[in-house]
Structure 1
């Protein structure tokens, strides 16, 4: 592998990179793990949208942070667009301060991205109350120095003017806690009015015009909301339960197809049934599990391991077939057992797999990766992970190792959110939990 190819491989292994399957340069890196995850969640989400159209749907999607949700949601976007839907994909990390999110923040971020999409589609929408509401927000937020020069609202009121102003409002409130609080105080009593304006002036007219153009309608995918900080609020309710359960009925009111990513902790909450009713419309969230490297009975999952091998080899040799890639394993690692060790120790967590590989590449800056170099990276990752584990948590980890179960929100917060424990599902064994393999040999577990 020459210098240019190594550079491309290095960039492709960056664990922070999300694969956009619709991009030709990314498509060959995509590995479909459906066969070992127990179900094709993307197919289920897409079929629900297709079969229930034109009725709006609200579906919930969750899983471990880093397990590949964004990649799968972008695949959903790609598949729906092939069917004729116009899809608005929103990575909320771009527009929201994830440590401090409220329902009006989410609605404004959605409205901004919808406006971007409507402009790209050249839809001829007439101005309405949504523009007036934005003008009121701008006037409310005006300060003598900062905003007056930046937020020039067009008295003629056009959707392009609304887009400019809304973009500035979202950007300013993300960067300023004080401005965020002021805008929330102003919009909170108007939340239902804001929803009516988004639906009546943006979403419903857009759907009508899209149908006239032969399109199937509008779909909004709201990604990364699983990263909302689950702090305790002043009313002793968690921020996550407040946003998705207490305010869930409002988030569900958008009059088009919507998919929300939600924090995995809600699957362990006593309010799970309320979540299903208020935000999911009676439907349970869909969970994207880990890729199994071992089954619940302790046997290796050879199919899962092979797909993880291909996830790495595809980044090295994107234009080759799976068999051709296997024939060139020793150009990436010194021997096949080294690749197996890397895949197994990742626990099927795709970002952890790439993180370990990336650490090896950073330190050696050459291929093939040796077993010694990999073991050094594993030891460093294990040491970093173990720094955070308390004596009580070691006791909980022992129980998970024995029972393959995690119960209750407290155990979730301690074990799964910290990536000490992973969740798996297969058709054969159903759902089970197991230790992050980085911890399996820790003396504290004996």
Structure 2
């Protein structure tokens, strides 16, 4: 049985995300719902398709970074589109400086992405967004030293763009004279305008501060304008063409958790608790990813009050039960994920024939899955490094042990004595308290979260299991 090592390595690249709407990528998709405590994506979907009264819902989705949230959200996008919804998915890290995010940044990013998406639908025409244009004009004027209304601000590559007091755009185009924006051009020009301004803001703290001083007092007005000039008309237009509604999925907002605002408030609490009421005011279906550590915050109760539904959690794939015994279902699915990366067309079962084509022994594959702790990206990262180190098949179990030892040593360098004591308690009790130190352990992926019929439970990252410091328990 011949296996292309380079192709196998590319399929294991941890930086690549499976897009289930792509037939080639779909071959690699494994549904872990049976061992993750429930059909979480189906729940998010049904909140939108079955339990929405007025075409608006607001969902929160969380889990460890790298556990597969993006893959599941792209699956949600695909299924919602098949159910007749227009879905706008984007990764907020592309538009925002994730360590310094304000509510106006999120709102403008959403508006830009929705405008861009609707611009691709030829039949959809929205009313002239005069209010939003006025706000953009004011922002551009404020930041004139950083932002010029040049060709990047226009959908036609226009130069010398001008905006009048009504927010109407015109431009002098070489060889064409003066051109005025039509209604269709009028709303398509807003997206490049937002993109130009926010790109400058993302690159400069000074520009962000200036922009926020201008936008923050207008947050309520901006929300109302986005709803009145964009989202509500868009929903009506989409329904005319047989679509059921508009869904916006904002990914990667779970990465805001490490920073603090200048006045000391944690970024995550500020955005999702203090400004949560505004996040949910958009007049369409919205799903935000949320930092997992917020579930252990003193403000979690307030967060629940802000949103209509509790956050959906995507836990790790359990390869062991909480008592330490092997979990056959989780182990099977993780092994299958590895084999499918090697043989996507065959969709193989974990049989000796397929395992032997990749690993020196069956036990080597089992050790890989156990060391991963059911963290999908961690398993792929180990496998990717392993392939590049061995550069031949079958992969050696001895190389895996070398990689694990090296990874364990790296992780131990940043762990304090106090954190080791907390890790020993987690390893013993399988529980985590609402404490800021535990939040750090979870954010650093030193502690993993799982779910079974008894509820959520926790354990240390298995890579740390051999560390001498744990033996003090």
Please report the TM-score for the alignment, with normalisation by the length of structure 1: 0.95
Counterpart in the other structure of 1:111: 111
CA distance in structure 1 between the aligned counterparts of 2:204 and 2:260, rounded to whole angstroms: 21
For the residues of structure 1 that align with 2:257 and 2:144, how far apart are their CA atoms? 29
Shift of 1:16: 1.3
Larger Rg: 2
Which runs of structure 2 are paired with 1:261-272 in the superposition (5 Å)? Answer: 261-272=289-300
Residues paired across the two proteins, number: 441
Q: 1:332 aligns with which of 358, 362, 368?
A: 358
Q: Which of 310, 323, 342 does residue 316 from structure 1 map onto?
A: 342
Aligned to 1:198: 226
Partner of 2:46: 47
Alignment of 1:136-285 (within 5 A): 136-143=138-145, 147-149=148-150, 150-151=152-153, 152-153=161-162, 154-155=169-170, 156-157=180-181, 158-278=186-306, 280-281=307-308, 283-285=309-311
Partner of residue 438, structure 1 = 463
Secondary structure of the residue aligned to 2:50 is: helix
Unaligned runs of 5+ in 1: none
Matched, 1:73 2:73: yes
Match of 1:82 in 2: 82
Are the aligned partners of 1:308 and 1:343 in contact in 2 as well (CA < 8 Å)?
Answer: yes
Task: Give yes or no for the alignment of 1:380 onto 2:406.
Answer: yes
On the 8 A contact 2:92/2:252 being kept in 1, the answer is yes
Contact 2:297 2:436 in 1 (8 A): no
Structure 1 pair 349–88 and aligned structure 2 pair: CA distance change class (3 A): same
Could you tell me whether the CA contact under 8 Å between 1:55 and 1:256 is conserved in 2? yes
2:404 aligned with 1:402, yes or no? no
Alpha-carbon deviation of 1:306?
0.8
Residues 100 and 229, structure 1, Cα contact 8 Å, conserved in 2:
no
Unmatched segments (≥5 aa) in structure 2: 154-160, 163-168, 171-179
Preserved contact between residue 313 and residue 325 of structure 1 (Cα < 8 Å): no
The CA deviation at 1:299 is: 1.3
Alpha-carbon distance in structure 1 between the residues aligned to 2:351 and 2:71: 22
Structure 2 CA distance for aligned equivalents of residues 293 and 58 of structure 1:
32
Aligned to 2:158: none
Q: Is the 8 A contact 2:339 2:350 kept in 1?
A: no
What's the secondary structure of 1:136's corresponding residue?
helix
Matches of 1:355 and 1:394, distance apart in 2: 25
Q: Distance in 1 between matches of 2:257 and 2:198?
A: 19
RMSD value, Cα: 1.6
Q: Report the CA distance between 1:55 and its aligned residue.
A: 3.2
* Counterpart contact for 2:104–2:219, Cα < 8 Å: yes
Output the TM-score relative to the length of structure 2: 0.90
Separation (CA, whole Å) in 1 of partners of 2:192 and 2:426: 51
Once the two structures are superposed, the pairs formed by residues 118-137 of structure 1 within 5 Å of their partners are 118-122=118-122, 123-128=124-129, 129-137=131-139
